[in-house]
Amino acid sequence: MLDGIDPVLTGELLLHLDAMGHSDAVVVADAHFPAHRIGSRVVDLPTLSSPRVLAAIRSVVPLDDAPGLDLMRSADGGVLDVQRELMTAAGTGDRDVRFVERFDFYDVAAPAYLIVRTGETRKYGNAILRKGVVGHPPAVGS
């Protein structure tokens, strides 16, 4: 157990997030997403929602510059409640998000460093986050 780390962030997930470099992507996927077909690294968190997992990841991973976050465009093109929750969890607004058509989203997700499949059952509860540059921690003793 680590102090100050969101308990959603398992050791396996933290290991992968730490190994990611600048602009590497992590997909936070809903339960419907073909994670194991598309991804070479998949972490399953079946009891958690996509927004909850995204918020935990954002507690340790900064967003890259435009676009730092992609969401899967809904069938009618409207912004769904789950997508608004994902934007809030990522700390972004409408202007900071790119909406990607469903099948194009799968293509964008395929080269991601990691896919985290959640238990989210609401449709279009998927997000792609690109890792920004992590700041330098303060020196020990300062």
Q: What is the pLDDT of residues 30-87, one digit of tens each?
A: 999 999 999 999 999 999 999 999 999 999 999 998 788 999 999 999 999 999 999 9
Q: Which of 22, 32, 36, 136 is catalytic?
A: 22
SS3 of residue 131 by DSSP: strand
pLDDT of residue 139: 58
SS3 of residue 13 by DSSP: helix
The model's pLDDT over 75-119, given as tens digits with 9 standing for 90+, comes to 999 999 999 999 999 999 888 899 999 999 999 999 999 999 999
Q: What pTM did the predictor assign?
A: 0.92
The reply to whether omega before 62 is within 30° of 0 (cis) is: no
Instruction: Please say if 16 is a catalytic residue.
Output: no
Can you list the domains of the chain with their CATH numbers?
18-127 (3.40.1650.10)
Handedness of CA 118, 54, 92, 61 (dihedral sign): negative
